[in-house]
Amino acid sequence: MRIQFWGVRGSIPTPGPDTVHFGGNTSCVEVRAADKLLVFDGGTGLRLLGKQLVKQMPLEAHIFFSHVHWDHIQGFPFFDPAFVAGNRIHLYGGNNVSRTLEETLAGQMDHPNFPVHLTDMGAKMNFHDLHEGQALSLDDGKSAKVSITTARGNHPNGVWAYRVDFGGRSFVYATDTEHYPDHIDPGLLSLARDVDVLVYDAQYTPDEYKGVAGTGGSKVGWGHSTYAEAAKLATAAKAKQLILFHHDPLQSDAQVREKERKTRELFPNSSAAYEGLVIDL
């Protein structure tokens, strides 16, 4: 299994001199499990991934959306392989939104927001509505199975976390989820148990979350977590590696590095996600 990060920022793209190292594109993570291509979220990082994938067409991709807030879908209209006939794209999302995943993706490309409609894309698209606790099995074509398990997170309008198991290795993607004040989320704890790589929403520092640092006051109820809570979950789940994800748009490279340093005091095998990071399992 190979994991590559194409977008690691939260809320809004943040290009500029202060975000060069970690990157300013919003959420997108690629996972390769044998011959299967899995993509988690379609933020602006998806555009960069698409530029690479055009060299590998025709292709079949499985894109899993944690939820449909704009920073997680706004790269899809710029995903080049979706415009090419002969490609096949499976799109997965939770059934806990007011509209289906297909309706939401089409809506952001509808007039007057975008000049090209979803129905004008050339690739064959299959939409799949997921249910809580649902497990999927994808055949890798070599007598092994890629297993994907789902769990709900804690975020306004709902969010889904995913676990991938393949060949004795495992990966959990849990972004845009807020910790609980008095206990660890039991669903995420179960999902992340003994995982090799845990990617977790660590948008805020504890002081930013409480509103005693940063701007905008308290972030309680906004649907995001902290590096300290990330370390707490990783420890309880006995995760082997923790990746801090969904960096706040106000955090500079220096601030993300400091967040990474403090996390390592709590959970030594931790790193802050950056665009271009590759993890081989």
**Entry pTM:** 0.95
Please report where in the chains the tokens 């190979």 appear, as a residue. Answer: 2
Q: What is the pLDDT of residue 98?
A: 60
Q: What is the pLDDT of residue 141?
A: 58
Q: What is the pLDDT of residue 94?
A: 82
- pLDDT (tens digit per residue) in 11-21: 999 999 999 99
- pLDDT (tens digit per residue) in 175-204: 999 999 999 999 999 999 999 999 999 999
Six-digit token string for 275 = 């665009």
Report the C-alpha gap between 138 and 52 in whole angstroms.
23
Contact 60, 38 (CB under 8 A): no
Burial 89-116 (b: 16+ CB within 10 A, else e): bbbbbbeebeeebbebbeeebeeeeeee
Nearest by Cα to 201 from 18, 10, 67, 22: 10
Phi, psi of 208 (to 5 degrees): -65, -40
Tens of each residue's pLDDT in the chain, 281 residues: 999 999 999 999 999 999 999 999 999 999 999 889 999 999 999 999 999 999 999 999 999 999 999 999 999 999 999 999 999 999 999 865 567 888 889 889 988 889 999 989 999 999 998 888 788 999 755 657 899 999 999 999 889 999 999 999 999 999 999 999 999 999 999 999 999 999 999 999 999 999 998 788 999 999 999 999 999 999 999 999 999 999 999 999 999 999 999 999 999 999 999 999 999 99
| DSSP codes of every residue in 27-81 | -EEEEEETTEEEEE--STHHHHHHHHHGGG-S-EEEEE-S--SGGGTTTGGG-GG
Six-digit token string for 120 = 């004008």
Contact 1, 241 (CB under 8 A): no
Look at the domain 2-280 and name its fold.
Metallo-beta-lactamase; Chain A (3.60.15)
